[in-house]
Amino acid sequence: MKPSGIGGQAVIEGIMMRSVKEYSVALRKPDGEIECKIEKISNFADTHKWAKIPFIRGVVNFVDSLIIGISTINYSASFYEDEQESGAVVAAENQTDKQEGNGKAKPESQGHGAEIVTVLISLALAVVLFMVLPFAVSRFFLKFTQSLLVLNIIEGIVRIVVFLVYLISISLMEDIRRTFMYHGAEHKCINCIENGQALTVDNVMKSSRFHKRCGTSFLFLVVIISIVVFMFIRVSNPALQLLIRLLMVPVIAGISYEILRYAGSHDNALSAALSAPGLCLQQLTTREPERDMCEVAITAVEAVFDWKAFLEKE
């Protein structure tokens, strides 16, 4: 199995699929039709060569993926906002728009600046939830031990528990479960291609919904690597300990990216061991999709990737 170089994410009732130079968003609209748009990718690393340096590139790619991911989620959500309003109100608004010559065009996402702000807020919340909270909880145990090693181990255990509770909690939400079904469809499409199968609904449905390069695997690696790295921080001042942890977040993300990159591009015992925990967690973050979801995923893939040429080359 050879990596195809494509990846993506699930959005609301759809799939975002990304190749090297562009990405697509395919959605199942409320009327049942599939809407698909294609956007060019402004790759930061193309104009800044230092952004391709190992370990640095992981941080750059992570932020870039967050920006595109939030943009595409906003875009997909815009198709369903009006569904929450009454039919009479929607009809009245549409009539008013027509009279004023301001008819709504195809839904658009937020401006680029707003998306960056959203990314920064998301990162801040993630840091508080997965970094600051476990650190604070572990310090309650100072009354029982003064060992920084023991406290760091407790912090790591709390971080894993918080991460698992978070995944389990969101997986119980009905809307999220549908999104996880689309997540499974995304993985199935990529696995179908990378295993040399034609991209048809039947072949996609038979493919695995688990994939080694999944974002779930990346997040789990971040949690595990942080535990290992923080064990070597032996500073006694709590404020300085927390500051160092925050400053180490980009370093941990860079290390995690390189490990995931290796695991996703190799097929040996080491890559299998590195991928196993993330694949296990995908039991929570993916679900078996329906056939119409796979149709949406195929539309997203075909918009940005010539899978037939890829299979011929293989």
pLDDT tens, position by position, 3-19 = 888 999 999 999 999 99
Please list, in sequence order, all residues whose beta carbon lies within 8 angstroms of the beta carbon of residue 14, skipping any fewer than 6 positions away.
25, 26, 27, 28, 76, 182, 296, 300
| Confidence band for 175, pLDDT divided at 50, 70 and 90 | confident
The residue to which tokens 């569904």 are assigned: 83
**Residue 297's pLDDT band (cuts 50, 70, 90):** very high
Domain boundaries, the chain: 7-313
DSSP symbols for the chain: ----S-EEEEETTEEEEE-SSEEEEEEE-TTSPEEEEEEE---HHHH-GGGGSTTHHHHHHHHHHHHHHHHHHHHHHHTTSGGGS-HHHHHHHHHHHHHHT----S-----HHHHHHHHHHHHHHHHIIIIIHHHHHHGGGGGT---HHHHHHHHHHHHHHHHHHHHHHHHTSHHHHHHHHHHHHHHHHHHHHHTT----HHHHHHS-S--TT-HHHHHHHHHHHHHHHHTT-----HHHHHHHHHHHHHHHHHHHHHHHHHHHH--SHHHHHHHHHHHHHHHHH--PPPHHHHHHHHHHHHHH--HHHHHHH-
At 179-230, the pLDDT tens digits run 999 999 999 999 999 999 999 999 999 999 999 889 889 989 999 999 999 8
CA of residue 140 relative to chain centroid, distance: 33
- pTM (2 decimals)? 0.83
pLDDT bucket at 83, cuts 50 / 70 / 90: low
- Check if the beta carbon of residue 233 is closer than 8 Å to that of residue 241: yes
Euclidean distance between CA atoms 255 and 245, whole angstroms: 15
Residue 20: pLDDT over 80: yes
How high does pLDDT run on average in the chain? 85
Q: How confident is the model at residue 115 (pLDDT cuts 50, 70, 90)?
A: low
pLDDT digits (tens, 9 = 90+) for 236-291: 888 898 899 889 989 999 999 999 999 888 889 999 999 999 999 999 999 999 99
Q: How many residues does the chain have?
A: 314
Question: What burial letters (b/e) apply to 166-203, b meaning 16+ CB within 10 Å?
Answer: ebeeeeeeeebebbbbbbbbbbbbbbbbbeebebeeeb
